[in-house]
Structure 1
Amino acid sequence: MLRILLTSIFLLTVAGSYAQTYSVKGSVKDTAGVPLTGTLIKLKWGSDSTATSVNIAGEFSLQNVKSAEFTLSAAFIGFQSFVKQYKIENGASLVIPPIILKEGVNSLSEVVITAVTAMKVGEDTVTFNASSFPVREGDAVDELLRKLPGVKVDADGNVTNQGQTITKIRVNGKDFFGGDVATAIKNLPADVIKNLQFIDDYGDQANLTGIKTGEPEKILNVTIAEDKNKGYFVRAGVGLGNEDRYNTGIRGNLFKGEERFSFDGTITNANRGGGGGNGITSTNAAGLSYQNQWNKKLSADAGYSFNNRKNITIGKAFTQNFLETFTRLEDEATNNDSDNYSHSLSGNLEYRRDSLNFLRVSPRISYNTAESDNLGFYTITQENLLTKRDNQTSNDNSSANISTNVFYNRKFRKKGRNISLRGNVNFSNGDSFRDVLNNYVITQNGLDSLRLQNQLIDNTNRNFSTSANFSYMEPLGKRNYMEFSYNWNRSVSSTNRNTNDILSGVQVFNPNLSNQYEYQFVTNRFGLNYRFIEKKYNYTLGLNAQPALLTGQNLSKNINTRNSTFNFIPSARFVYNFTKQQSLQVNYWGRNNQPGFLQLQPISDNSNLQNVVTGNPNLNPEFIHAVNARYNQTDWNMGHFLTANLSYNQTQDKIVTTKVLVPGTINQVTSYTNTDGFYTLSGDYSYGKPFADRKFTITYSGNASLNNNVAFIDASKNIAKNFNIRQELEFELDIKDIVDVEFETSYGINTTKYSQENFDDRRTNSMRYSLRGRNFFFKDLTLGYNLSKTVNSGFDNSIVKNPTILGAHLEYQFLKGNAARIRFEAFDLLDQNTGISRDVFDNIIIDRQTNRLGQYFMLSLNMTLRKFGGNGPAPRTNNQYGPGNNNNRPGGGNNNGGGYRGNN
């Protein structure tokens, strides 16, 4: 009986092994013929199925298909799905004709995704899928950002993308912590994030009309995953170290669908975790953020932040001031102690009466106080003159700012027709009190003379600015749009400066150094813009006429000034999409820059007798022409990317400083004038390529700039051509739960050539290496390290050094879900953390060295509580202005109209 059973099993197995199977081959492309690498192919017959993904050539092959009749589906994010039934009638194989996928929304609800789009580049948006960049459990968004190509996060939490600073952060399209980037990226846990979008934001009106002019704001929009939009996350930690260092904080998030509440509190004297800026800093900070969508019509977000920052900075500086016949050398040593308090409250209230009307009101209030004491010791040498100055300065400042921005948009039934109105009111008030004490020892031809100077300077500044903008958009057909716009701005500023000299202990009013001054700056801008949209390209052409009037009144001396200008300002924008993964964008815009208050005020500030500064009330506003070209190329699935930028800026009536030496003295008089000939040409690129399922990534990047600077030295014009070039190579190794490491090296050259023959040309070189990483042992032990080395050459003074900064930490996780972490950290093990910098401008080179937080050790404990679920509604991120927005803006839903889009 057993023999018969075994024989039967053997025969069935053999028969099954010879059952008929088939092979299916094909290819997938988009409508432009570009292979859609990563497209999911699924074959289904009866209750069985098999699947694969399209390779880099756009082809797929499936073997061992067990039925001649099957249903084939092809799905790729951002494209319409393809579904069709097939039958193999002859032979055992079938070559399917090329499958062409059309653009469209695809939720892939019936298809299991096995290929993930890591990166997608749109016209003004770069979107990263968070799941393609895995991080350690418990990491915050800052660790996720560090893994993104072209993105850098410094020790203070400042974020840059392709060298541009991220100025604001939003969550699901709403301001988060008032837009404070550093606080937000530390607050949000990385594993609740669906994707991250880096957006060139041209403003509400541009997002609606698609007409984008001027320079955009670079913002980061973070989208919460649908299955994580209900729950909470709280983390608290306390750390104690030697040198009396401490670092404590608590941060948390509560998500209930559209309602989100977040808080953050920090008390530390460890320079925000051991890195960061100059000096030794103590910080007490707190922040709150709230968002809610009460119904389809009404939503709001608000943020409050408090910051108390105490800083002690000890610095040295060596300045070379190149004059016509000699070089003026200045050595200084300073000690500054400051204590600053700031409060900020901001929010947005949005009301959508229906799909055609949108209203947003955005108020903001801030209040700041600052106290500082400065001690300075200065030595100035030139020819046969030597001056030594001891300085004591106390400052007491306060300022308040209140502003409100109102934006209203009305859409009409006719697609593309829009009217938008914007109004802004801003009031600021500042008071400052300065007590200046200078002791001078002047040595000339071997003889010494002494001078004591003591001044009390009281300044009150007021500024009130208002603006209004009107825009009307009219479609001229399916692809043509015309916009008429008008913008009015008015700024009124006033200052009241009282200066008292202290003579023999008695205050004496100084009318020559006191002044009451007002000035007004008014612009009217009339604009006409034409926009044309095609599938592969779109462009905008515009012409603006702008008269500007700058008036000033010296009320103390009864002197009036009046400067008027008129500019025709053309604007242009051209976008060409070679494919969905390759695009070129070119922009031109122009803008005015009004002079600063101190540059205009016709009065001398002689609180430093060796550099008396006097304003020029006859200054004209600057006018800047800017051209920018950007090229993007990427592979959505493999993550390869190339970005390149080229920019040219030219400034008419550039406001520059003038320096005139008082004959026979060591004193100089500084003022301001307008001049032409100032321009900047710059370019940068970044290319990244991942390998082995993103375990390895290599990024090449570089930048170069040519600056034509103009200065006046003793009334002689001097042109300084400054050329900078920098090349960087970065290697990343990321094997989840094993190692996460970044190695970066860069080399830079900085040269300056002067038009005046008696000025020597300058060149400096800088090489930098850095290593940052974490090694994970088992599931609960982490070793982290951070090493950087800078090698400078070409600096011709003893200040410049080549510091090596080394830090490390060891972290152990325990309790259920690794809810607790104990961490031992060592900062600046070699005790070389010194701030070194060089500034080159006009005829001056300044080399600086400042103290920074040095070597210390810290032991800390962190606890985490978390729970997330997906019962809330999906985040509202695709449609910023309510239902019907995509169908009412120019271009429909082709992503040419801006806004927060591209959720994958």
Structure 2
Amino acid sequence: MKHLCVLFTILFIKISAQSEIKGIAVAENGQPIVRANVILFNAANEIETFGFSDKTGSFSVSTQKTGNFTLQLAAFNHHPTSIEVVLDHQNKRIDLQKVEISKIPENEIQEVIVTKQNPVRIRKDTVEYTAEKFASGTEMNVEELLKKLPGITVESDGKIKFNNKEVERVMIEDDDLFERGYQTLTQNMPSQSLDKVQVLTNYSRNKLLKDVQNDERVAINLTLKEDAKGKWFGNALFATTSYVENMHQVKLNVMNFSKRRKFYLLYNRNNLGLNEMGGVAYLMNPAQETDAENIGSNLSINPVIRLHQKNSQFSDNRTNFNDDQLASLNYIYNFRNDWKLKFVTVYNDIENRNYTDNTYRFMYDGLQFTNIESKTWKQNIRNLVGKLELSREFSKNANLQFYNKTSSVHERNSNDFIFNGALNQQSGNNRLTSTESKISYTKKLDSSKALVAVARHYYYDRPYNFTDENEVFTYVTGNPEARRIRQQLYSQLNFAGAKISYLNRYSDSKYLELQLGDEYRSEKLNSEISLFNNDLQSIVFNRAEFQNDMYLKQNRVFAKGKFIHTYKNWKYTLDLLSELVSSDFNRTLQSELFVSPGFHIGFEDRKTGSFTLYGNRRFTPLAIENLLQNYIYLGNRNFTEGTAGFQLLPDYSLGLSYSLGDQLTKNLNFSVNYMRLERFMSNNSLVNKNYTFNQTILVEDNDTFFANLEVRRYVRFVKSRFSLLGGFMSSGYKNSINGQELVESTFSNKKVGFEMKSGWTKKINYELGYDWTFSRLKSVSFTNDYLDQKGFFNLYYNFSSEFRIQGNFEYYHFGNTPQKSTRFLDIKADYMIKKLKTNVFLRANNLLNSSTIQRYSLTNVSESIYTQRLMPRHVVLGINKNF
């Protein structure tokens, strides 16, 4: 297999080719022009690709096509220059040497537009697309339009990338309604109202820090046509199956955007397995950002008990037996006195069911047994979130921002488990309340310096009650009457922090950032358990081992410095974090000083490619749920406790990445990373057939190594882009079974695969891919290998600009056991009635009616086969109307 992959790679590289056009952009005096816009047009005056000149004026653009092209160069305050280019065979390289761009006389200077009919305009930090130049009239939403813009790609989850860099925000007329949840906007907003799509590079959320902060973020700003501003528009969708399946989807989006006011209302309900939370999930958890305007991390409390399990193999529409509804209101008002009000509220009701079977075999030190479980998980979550944000611009050198967010979550669980033929019922009731407030003030001292002060408070309160009916405590206590379990838990987190930052851009090549702050947090975790017989009469037993009453108070004073220096094609970044951490864990006091350095070295060159070398050392605190004094019952016959006091776990990491290719197509990407945990959490498991006690222990030294490779080329004779994918991962682990010595194990996997995507301009196109993952678990007493495989084939056919059809096929096979493979076949058909702005669609899902999928897993003491029920075959007919 190894030799086959090497041969395959060699052949692949030889048959792959692109044509390159390069040169040096210079002014009339011979000086290089930095960031000149370089655009390659084909014979139809369509953009083939584009790029920029670097610090030496050098530029390079590539294409897989042949024919007559026009290369156009333009720069601010310069006349555009056009050059006719002929590419008559593959792998042709044209060196234009020096290309002179003449300067516009001062009395004629105006904004530079490449050409009047040009659909793309490139300025210093902005690439602007004219929407109507790329639209065909069949697009039902913004996302479908974005997929047609050169340089922009849209992932399957709705995340957007520009030149392989993830877009952080999508705004409307410079206002950000959805923050990181912009999929709600892009997947629902009609595209016909758009005038321009502006990609903002070096984007900063705080306008005052735009030319100060060293930021490489990317955002998108959507501008509207004049006749769409201040008008109500949106879309409505209704879809249904036959009465047998009785599955439906209803969606309504209503919006109104003007310069002063922006309004967006969304309502959705479905039981088709669709997860509609992607666009509002950012509201549920506090932000974990580390820039100058934020303070605080790891502010959410992980639930000790998880009474619900969802799939992790597929998209939700394969396994999500649901009945969800979501309502969201987003509103922005810009006052005349420079105040801005932003209000967001979300109501969400989720019902999810999951059906799994598991055969578990334990084999260690003479102890062998098999457990067979069948589980029905049912969860209902009701969320209500409100966020109010106020901001004020004070002239041109100061601003103030404040927000408050309040959340309420009510979760209910009702599970039916069958363990070796015996019924086990669980029910849980969990209420969570949290509130978060933050205020920040920015003062711009001059054109290159700024001060940022921020303060934040977060409060989290979570009582948790659940009951479990099984005989596990019969074995634990020796009392045959102990059949019902009730456990009450209570978690609380209180956080307050403040920080001041000084930012100074000394020059275009030097940047300094200094931070000084203090964070205080207090946490509580209590648990208590009660036992009853079948008649609900209380049973007396020794509860001391099953009660917890813990608190953790921590104060962290820190200072952080960052220095960035660029020299020619090199970029150097140095970080240094110093923190004094004082903690009080159940009256055990300790204080310690930690120093965490980090570095980042980058080099970028159009010819030789770019690489990044980085490393850091950090200290991660143990969470309170890892510090349990006594056992907590997790349900499902499992108990856990902690044996370590509060401490910070040290680790360090090193990484290297390399990429080669033009701006739009990264032909080669390679990365390698190494991490060493000097101390890490493991467990000592006390195992028998009827229950497991897990004790958290600290173990020294764990190494993890992983590498990834992606090579993309255009194969001319099939006119398709071919991608070769590879990866390797190896990680060590140490744990103990039944109190014996630590067992050392190593898990590794090697992944190889390929993908092909057609580049045809015809009616038909395709995508296909396949990958093999070779996994190995090596322990002291054995070595086990197994293979996972998955593949896909997507076929697209456009009968006309109004009617298109798509077929998707997926294949999965997990493990070496003689379990069945799983196949999916889906068909999608869309008919666009342009005059009515209406799309009629058909979705035929799981046409092969695959009912289950199996997954094989292995540890150093056990193996298991996990089976999950799948959504049955169903056909959905729907209509989507823009208005």
Question: What is the TM-score normalised by the length of structure 2?
Answer: 0.76
Q: Which residue of 1 aligns with 2:12?
A: none
- Worse-superposed segment, 619-628 or 472-481: 472-481
1:673 and 2:697 are equivalent in the alignment? yes
SS at match of 1:653: strand
Inter-CA distance 837–491: structure 2 relative to 1 (3 Å threshold):
farther
Q: Is the 8 A contact 2:472 2:691 kept in 1?
A: no
Q: Which residue of 2 aligns with 1:419?
A: 451
1:598 and 2:595 are equivalent in the alignment? no
Aligned pairs (5 A) from 1:593-742: 593-606=620-633, 611-636=638-663, 639=665, 641-661=667-687, 667-689=691-713, 696-713=720-737, 714-733=739-758, 738-742=763-767
Q: Which residue of 1 aligns with 2:222?
A: 224
SS at match of 1:829: coil
Q: Is the 8 A contact 1:586 1:628 kept in 2?
A: yes
SS at match of 1:676: strand
Could you report, residue by residue, the CA deviation over 1:85-123 in whole angstroms, capped at 9, with x for unpaired residues?
A: 99xxxxxxxx998325699999532624658599x999x
1:791 and 2:813 are equivalent in the alignment? yes
Q: Is the 8 A contact 2:78 2:103 kept in 1?
A: no
Aligned pairs (5 A) from 1:417-566: 417-439=449-471, 452-474=482-504, 479-503=509-533, 504-507=535-538, 511-512=543-544, 513-553=546-586, 560-566=587-593
SS at match of 1:276: helix
Could you report, residue by residue, the CA deviation over 1:838-857 in whole angstroms, capped at 9, with x for unpaired residues?
A: 55567555542222211012
Could you report, residue by residue, the CA deviation over 1:519-556 in whole angstroms, capped at 9, with x for unpaired residues?
A: 12332222233332334333222322223233222xxx
Query: What count of residue pairs does the alignment treat as equivalent?
Result: 775
CA distance in 1, matches of 2:852, 2:550: 42
Q: Is the 8 A contact 2:809 2:823 kept in 1?
A: yes
CA distance in 2, matches of 1:208, 1:178: 22
Matched letter for residue 239 of structure 2? G
Q: CA RMSD, aligned part only?
A: 4.7
Q: Is the 8 A contact 1:75 1:82 kept in 2?
A: no
1:856 and 2:874 are equivalent in the alignment? yes
Q: Is the 8 A contact 2:777 2:860 kept in 1?
A: no
Shift of 1:182: 4.5
Q: Is the 8 A contact 1:178 1:304 kept in 2?
A: no
CA distance in 1, matches of 2:103, 2:866: 55
Q: Which residue of 1 aligns with 2:822?
A: 803
Q: Which residue of 2 aligns with 1:588?
A: 615
Inter-CA distance 826–393: structure 2 relative to 1 (3 Å threshold):
same
Q: Is the 8 A contact 1:53 1:115 kept in 2?
A: no
Shift of 1:346: 2.9
CA distance in 2, matches of 1:465, 1:687: 46
User: Structure 2: which 5+ runs fail to align?
Assistant: 1-20, 52-58, 63-69, 84-94, 276-314
Q: Is the 8 A contact 1:27 1:58 kept in 2?
A: no
Inter-CA distance 835–410: structure 2 relative to 1 (3 Å threshold):
farther
Aligned pairs (5 A) from 1:28-427: 29=25, 38-39=38-39, 76=73, 81-82=78-79, 98-100=98-100, 108-109=112-113, 111-112=115-116, 137-143=138-144, 153-154=155-156, 175-177=176-178, 179-189=180-190, 192=194, 210=213, 221-225=219-223, 227=225, 230=229, 233-242=233-242, 243-257=245-259, 259-272=261-274, 276=317, 278-294=319-335, 297-321=338-362, 323-327=364-368, 329-379=370-420, 390-413=423-446, 415-427=447-459
Q: Is the 8 A contact 1:466 1:490 kept in 2?
A: yes
Inter-CA distance 338–737: structure 2 relative to 1 (3 Å threshold):
farther
Inter-CA distance 96–496: structure 2 relative to 1 (3 Å threshold):
closer
Inter-CA distance 203–233: structure 2 relative to 1 (3 Å threshold):
closer
SS at match of 1:716: coil
SS at match of 1:271: coil
Q: Is the 8 A contact 1:697 1:732 kept in 2?
A: yes
- Worse-superposed segment, 192-201 or 740-749: 192-201
Inter-CA distance 103–288: structure 2 relative to 1 (3 Å threshold):
farther
Q: Is the 8 A contact 1:187 1:264 kept in 2?
A: no
SS at match of 1:501: strand
CA distance in 2, matches of 1:772, 1:840: 32
Shift of 1:434: 0.5
CA distance in 2, matches of 1:103, 1:336: 70
Matched letter for residue 112 of structure 2? L
Shift of 1:307: 1.5
Question: What is the TM-score normalised by the length of structure 1?
Answer: 0.74
Shift of 1:236: 1.0
- Larger-gyration structure (1/2): 1
Inter-CA distance 98–515: structure 2 relative to 1 (3 Å threshold):
closer
Matched letter for residue 649 of structure 1? M
- Worse-superposed segment, 388-397 or 832-841: 832-841
CA distance in 2, matches of 1:134, 1:581: 36
Q: Which residue of 2 aligns with 1:573?
A: 600
Could you report, residue by residue, the CA deviation over 1:188-223 in whole angstroms, capped at 9, with x for unpaired residues?
A: 3456385586999999799775468xxx9xx87332
SS at match of 2:185: helix
Shift of 1:269: 0.7
1:834 and 2:852 are equivalent in the alignment? yes
Higher relative contact order (CA 8 A, sep 6+): 1
| Match among 785, 789, 799 for residue 767 of structure 1 | 789
Q: Is the 8 A contact 2:424 2:469 kept in 1?
A: yes
CA distance in 1, matches of 2:581, 2:629: 21
CA distance in 1, matches of 2:103, 2:380: 57
Q: Which residue of 1 aligns with 2:770?
A: 745
1:821 and 2:839 are equivalent in the alignment? yes
Inter-CA distance 424–128: structure 2 relative to 1 (3 Å threshold):
farther
User: Structure 1: which 5+ runs fail to align?
Assistant: 1-24, 43-50, 60-72, 87-94, 380-387, 554-559, 866-904
Could you report, residue by residue, the CA deviation over 1:254-303 in whole angstroms, capped at 9, with x for unpaired residues?
A: 33246432222111111128953634111111222234544594444443
Matched letter for residue 331 of structure 1? I
Shift of 1:141: 4.4
Inter-CA distance 435–626: structure 2 relative to 1 (3 Å threshold):
same
Inter-CA distance 98–164: structure 2 relative to 1 (3 Å threshold):
closer
